[in-house]
Structure 1
Amino acid sequence: MIFTYIDGSNTRNSVSLLDTHHNSGFFETLHADSKLEFIKQFIPAYNAGQKLVLFDKNHTQLLDFHQKNNINSLKDTESLEPDTRLLFFTSGSSGFPVGAFKTQTNLAKEVKALKELVSVKCIKRVVVTVPFVHIYGVLGGLLLPLALGEIELIVKEDFLPYELIEEVKKGDTLVITTPVFIKALGKLSETVDMSSSLFISSTGPLHTDDISVFETLYSADVMQLFGSTETGGIAYKFGVSKKWIPLRDVSVEQKNERLSVSSPYISTFLLQEGIQKLELPFTTEDIIEIDSEGFELLGRSNKIIKIAGKRISALAIESLLEKIEGVERAVVTLVYKKELLRSEQILITLQAKNQLQKSFIKQKINESYGVLTIPFKVVYVETIKLSSMGKKVLF
């Protein structure tokens, strides 16, 4: 693998990854202030079999946790599998981040599945826009390129959308990115044939409108990956298809309307108020409909809203609200309060230039989805932050 790093002045630098690393046998936290330093530290350490702790140092709760705790001193670390290699953390978008221990077996098998998926294209170059501290960045942005062999890995701290277009114009390129970037590329006026390249998007769902615009502009295939830090990859789909297809060796079923998963990519142990063993099959909070062709994601259990007898994803309502002039970001959640006449209530959090009348919001929802009878509350915040992986974060 050839590693090319584009610095702040847009100079392309060929980087050597020949540094050696001594395996201490204990967990070591990888400290890196840039993607360049991360790769130069991670790959030699990983190749040496070093156990690594990866987390976003900009996440204040996690930083505080690591300053006060030594992973090697935690109770039950001796229970971890012998080939445990990496400790990842969730983004913490719904609370304190959960740690997920990944073994060499977890990682190697998932990389094999991803390599099989991208074989639909003749990949010669991999461009990575995501940070490496999360599982998607490491699997898709580092371990997969290593497994692909004779390719060029191109990394920059922060690609601008038009810079990414220039890279992909060279053809035969695999882009590891997020929904935020796909949406941004869809807003550019340039039309480019990228049919020889493949874009992989993960960390959150893409609206079909955004995919349609992107595919029209660039004639490029978009493959979405669905999974989590705990489960690893679960399924994939191409384009505007609603059906998710399980990855190789992944078994899915429906349990009380929720997605239940058995897979060699799932962490056996989690770090959540101590080290805990995860029971399999693992049931997620995702509501699904399943058939012989795959499954359709209806949304998270707290992100499904029933309107006029139909189950509507909160994502769809968020997308609708963000099309209103002045609304920059929206988060829609279904909450439960016993003191209410009806125990459920919709909580709408908006980052907007001006406050909207509740009647106007209700009218917009009614026009698209039918009469909304569930009570809702609107809260305005100065900023709805995005995590390093592009997820909306309210905590």
Structure 2
Amino acid sequence: MSHVTVLYNDGRIEEEIVDFRGYTPVSENSRCIIPTHHDKMEQIREIVASIHRGDIPLLYDTTMKSSDEKAHRLRDLPLSEHLQSACVLFFTSGTSGNPIGVLKGSEHLVSECEAQIEWLQHYKIEQCLVTVPFFHIYGYLFGLAIPLSMGLDIVTKEDFLPQEILKLCQQKPTLCITNPVFIRSMIRLRDDIDLRDTLFICSSGPLESEEALKFEQKYSTRLVQLYGSSETGGIAIREGGESLWNPLNGVVIESDEGILSVRSRYLSRYVFDDEFRPLSNPFQTTDIIEKVGEQFKIVGRASELVKIGGKRLSMVEIETFLETMEGIEEALGFVEYHPSSLRGETLTLYLVGDSSKIDKTVLKKALHDQFGGIHIESKIIMVDALAKTALGKKIRHKVIT
């Protein structure tokens, strides 16, 4: 049993003992349930109670209209044969504009929990601090399923500030479940605090090796990055400033002409879009990799590759490079193609930061030098913020808030 504490923005504290008794098989009386509470303690109660009853919780970001529409459509369908082997369904974040429902059976979740606990148990941990939402598979596994299985205390909050995370991590040996947005925010804080008894786990987007190493050195702590997706479950981990990913136990990775292919016992059998469709195992992702023995390096995403001046480049790599420059906090880029024009392409960059510190001529030259002498017409637009999901991922089809 785990002691769960929820801290609220108005100063209230709610505490409860949660006894997780495993997954009850789906029966003819089972239903698809959409957890309706925004209160975090109520969310936990409702998710756990649904699983104990044998109902199937549909977990997603309720602020995303497209996800909400698909979840309600699925909830109103008869309990099909596809759902009879499921115990939880996660909707992807829909950053591309088309969220899909990913079915997970107990065998997927239990086996992945066991694989993650296999390496986690080497760390001394007494509490799990959860800064991410429970409706994402990462937040569900590491914020609920794994700490409940390990009997860890769970601490979470409505909305975190970076300073609050550091303060809570000082209280006892902590497993902190977070994302790159918080890690980067904590790097920028002036105070250096000794957090050698804390293990940070970061997912929902890769940090650069230099960022991870800087964070570890600043706080005398350890940072493990997790790589995976809703469909595949966890694929690999890497520690500190490492650049190569190490596949999890039970995962076999292959390179099919540079595209990552995953064979895994955590891989879902079915997904739901407008109808159910099966997933193949091995499953081909959209990530481009370089294999180094049994390890691998992520080069970019096929869906986020752009062609500039005849060169194929990763837009994510361009954005990450820009975010290392002075004055730029965040970047989002798009390439428009104009076949009839002389140059043929325009790179539009949306930047968040201090415009007084950004010299557009210097920025364009830096891009030119960094990416092999690319020549492209570029347009730079300063914005107050980029649209993001609850896990901090950029929403590419939405552009800005």
TM-score normalised to structure 2 length: 0.87
Map of 2:122 onto structure 1: 120
Matched, 1:275 2:276: yes
Q: 1: CA distance between counterparts of 2:342 and 2:232?
A: 37
Shift of the 336–51 alpha-carbon distance from structure 1 to 2, 3 Å rule, reads farther
Amino acid at match of 2:226: L
Shift of the 70–309 alpha-carbon distance from structure 1 to 2, 3 Å rule, reads closer
Shift of the 143–251 alpha-carbon distance from structure 1 to 2, 3 Å rule, reads same
Q: 2: CA distance between counterparts of 1:297 and 1:249?
A: 20
Matched, 1:51 2:56: yes
Matched, 1:89 2:104: no
CA deviation string 1:6-30 (max 9, x = no partner) = 2224454321447999984121111
Map of 1:142 onto structure 2: 144
Matched, 1:198 2:199: yes
Any conservation in 1 of the 2:57–2:87 contact (CA below 8 Å)?
Answer: yes
Q: Which segment is superposed worse, 177-186 or 315-324? A: 315-324
Matched, 1:330 2:331: yes
Q: 1: CA distance between counterparts of 2:339 and 2:97?
A: 22
Any conservation in 1 of the 2:20–2:149 contact (CA below 8 Å)?
Answer: no
Q: 2: CA distance between counterparts of 1:343 and 1:267?
A: 41
How far 1:192 sits from its partner (Å)? 1.8
Q: 2: CA distance between counterparts of 1:296 and 1:310?
A: 20
Map of 1:263 onto structure 2: 264
Give the SS at the match of 1:362: helix
Any conservation in 2 of the 1:308–1:371 contact (CA below 8 Å)?
Answer: no
The 5 Å alignment of 1:7-86 reads 7-17=8-18, 24-67=29-72, 69-73=73-77, 78-80=80-82, 82-86=84-88
Give the SS at the match of 1:386: coil
Aligned residues: 391
CA deviation string 1:261-299 (max 9, x = no partner) = 011111111112211111221111100001224000001
The alignment-based identity, stated in percent, is: 33
Q: 2: CA distance between counterparts of 1:87 and 1:342?
A: 46
Q: 2: CA distance between counterparts of 1:19 and 1:295?
A: 36
Give the SS at the match of 2:98: coil
Structure 2 gap ranges (5+): none
Q: Which segment is superposed worse, 135-144 or 1-10? A: 1-10
Give the SS at the match of 1:95: coil
CA deviation string 1:161-220 (max 9, x = no partner) = 111111111232100110111111111122222222210000001122321221111111
Shift of the 194–308 alpha-carbon distance from structure 1 to 2, 3 Å rule, reads farther
Give the SS at the match of 1:163: helix
The 5 Å alignment of 1:336-355 reads 346-351=347-352
How far 1:327 sits from its partner (Å)? 3.9
Q: Which segment is superposed worse, 370-379 or 337-346? A: 337-346
CA deviation string 1:313-345 (max 9, x = no partner) = 433421332345554421235677766788876
The 5 Å alignment of 1:370-381 reads 370-373=372-375, 378=380
CA deviation string 1:108-166 (max 9, x = no partner) = 111111111212211111000001111111011000001112x2111111121111111
Q: Which segment is superposed worse, 342-351 or 114-123? A: 342-351
Give the SS at the match of 1:123: coil
Q: 1: CA distance between counterparts of 2:336 and 2:279?
A: 27
Map of 1:170 onto structure 2: 171
The 5 Å alignment of 1:217-232 reads 217-232=218-233
Amino acid at match of 1:109: S
Q: 1: CA distance between counterparts of 2:354 and 2:170?
A: 37
Shift of the 343–134 alpha-carbon distance from structure 1 to 2, 3 Å rule, reads farther
Aligned partner of 1:100 among 84, 89, 102? 102
Any conservation in 1 of the 2:308–2:345 contact (CA below 8 Å)?
Answer: no
Amino acid at match of 1:246: P
Give the SS at the match of 1:82: helix
Matched, 1:185 2:189: no
Give the SS at the match of 2:196: coil
Q: 2: CA distance between counterparts of 1:343 and 1:277?
A: 40
Matched, 1:214 2:210: no
Amino acid at match of 1:270: V
Q: 2: CA distance between counterparts of 1:315 and 1:152?
A: 36
Q: 1: CA distance between counterparts of 2:137 and 2:275?
A: 20
Shift of the 264–337 alpha-carbon distance from structure 1 to 2, 3 Å rule, reads farther
How far 1:70 sits from its partner (Å)? 4.0
Any conservation in 2 of the 1:303–1:333 contact (CA below 8 Å)?
Answer: no
Q: 1: CA distance between counterparts of 2:394 and 2:377?
A: 23
Q: 2: CA distance between counterparts of 1:193 and 1:353?
A: 31
Any conservation in 2 of the 1:18–1:44 contact (CA below 8 Å)?
Answer: no
Q: 1: CA distance between counterparts of 2:329 and 2:195?
A: 30
Amino acid at match of 1:41: E
Give the SS at the match of 2:118: helix
Amino acid at match of 1:364: A
TM-score normalised to structure 1 length: 0.88
Shift of the 117–319 alpha-carbon distance from structure 1 to 2, 3 Å rule, reads same
Q: 1: CA distance between counterparts of 2:312 and 2:304?
A: 10
Any conservation in 1 of the 2:58–2:71 contact (CA below 8 Å)?
Answer: no
